Amino acid sequence: MSNQLDLLRQFTTVVADTGDFEAMRKYRPTDATTNPSLILKAAQQEENRYLLDKVVSDHANASASELVDHLLVAFGREILSIIPGRVSTEVDARLSFDTQASIERARQLIELYQRSGIERERVLIKLASTWEGIQAARVLQAEGIRCNMTLLFCLPQALACAQAKVQLISPFVGRIYDWYKKNAGAQWDETASAGAADPGVQSVTRIYDYYKTYDIPTEIMGASFRNIGQIQALAGCDLLTISPDLLNQLSGNTTGLIRQLTPGHAKQNAPAWQASNEVSFRTELNQDAMATEKLAEGIRAFVADGIKLDALIAQARGK
């Protein structure tokens, strides 16, 4: 009997949101995504210590930031030996508001991958969906370096990414859900806000409907899930990146799964076309308290874990 993970694969590309190699072998995703928090967690696991030690020993004269990039690529290479598709590797979140530095860091990551025999087509460079990050992606895409825009919480961010012709966006679901649930407090009704009524699901659906209505080729990958109900409600999205725990729940669920998102349905409910430029981006993002707060919070969290990763590498180097 088919389980929901198998059924989901029929109309959505399944992506693993983890740095856990064994989980990838078990659930057989097409692609995989990483971020500073996931790499920090994976690098601290004893079974992955060899990767950290090898990076430090092989690049004794490298700077701290170069060692981080070497470690990210080491994990990426290991992941690509397991999965058939692409890995997403994130530029240091401390560069989220520096377009030129983000471009240079992305080029360095791609060069490291290519030097180790990995084609650039198998790598997506992750950048925060700030105005500066999106402009960096515009330049990188023109050079043939494919980008995955993360920390995306609203349609104005998605519109700017489409204009920049990025390869893929990762609109968040769970963090949007978290914000609305926290803001509602005791008034939050979990049942009334589940499935298609989930505010995170609604945000991704709006983006999906817009992209498909106007035939925007940028791929949409729903991310940051809190429960399988959110995944079920977005069945049919181009890609969904899912944690090992939720992959396990889907694989153990043998009830049916109905596709919820289709290009045809999106065009039947065609949203109005919207202009996008820097002024509208900044104005509309500022007007959206949820998106503004979650973008800032996400960058701060990734910066904090980036600093911890630096300390972990320095500790390994000092031994």
Candidates 174, 182, 19; CA nearest to 87 is 19
DSSP 41-72: HHHTSGGGHHHHHHHHHHTTT--HHHHHHHHH
Go through 231-246 and write b for each residue having 16 or more CB atoms within 10 A of its CB, e for each that does not. bbbbbbbbbbbbbbeb
Q: Which residues pair with 33 in a beta bridge?
A: 17, 88
Q: How far apart are CA 135 and CA 176, in angstroms?
A: 24
- Cα-Cα-Cα-Cα dihedral of 118, 120, 123, 129, to 10°? 150
Candidates 258, 317, 308; CA nearest to 4 is 258
Go through 289-315 and write b for each residue having 16 or more CB atoms within 10 A of its CB, e for each that does not. ebbeebbeebbebbbebbeebbebbee
Catalytic status, residue 126: yes
Select which of 26, 41, 126, 212 is catalytic.
126
DSSP 90-110: EPPGGGTT-HHHHHHHHHHHH
Report the residue count for the chain.
319
Yes or no: say if 146 and 168 are a contact pair by the CB < 8 Å rule.
Answer: yes
* Catalytic center residues: 126
